[in-house]
Homo-oligomer: A and B are copies of this chain.
Amino acid sequence: MLDLTPCQKLWVEMDGQIVMSDYRVRLLALVAETGSLAKAASAMKLSYRRAWGKIKEIETNLGIALVQSEVGGAGGGHTVLTPEAETIVAAYVRFQARMAEDLHAIFEEEFASILPGIPA
Quick check: A95 and B106 within 8 Å, CB to CB? yes
Chain A interfacial residues counted at CB < 8 A: 39
> Which 6 A-B pairs have CB atoms at the shortest separation, nearest pair first?
A9-B9, A95-B110, A91-B110, A5-B13, A102-B102, A98-B106
Copies of this protein in the assembly total 2
A118-B7 contact given A94-B110, A95-B106, A111-B95, CB 8 Å threshold: no
A interface residues (Cβ-Cβ under 8 A, vs B): 2-15, 19-20, 62-64, 84, 87-88, 91-92, 94-95, 98-99, 102-103, 106-107, 110-111, 114, 117-120
Quick check: A12 and B6 within 8 Å, CB to CB? yes
Q: Which residues of chain B are near A3, meaning CB under 8 Å?
A: 14-15
Quick check: B2 and A99 within 8 Å, CB to CB? no
Nearest chain B CB to A28 CB, angstrom units: 15
Give A114 to B91 CA distance when docked, in angstroms: 8
Quick check: B19 and A12 within 8 Å, CB to CB? no
Q: Which residues of chain B are near A107, meaning CB under 8 Å?
A: 12, 95
Nearest chain B CB to A60 CB, angstrom units: 13
Q: Which residues of chain B are near A91, meaning CB under 8 Å?
A: 110-111, 114
Give A8 to B60 CA distance when docked, in angstroms: 23
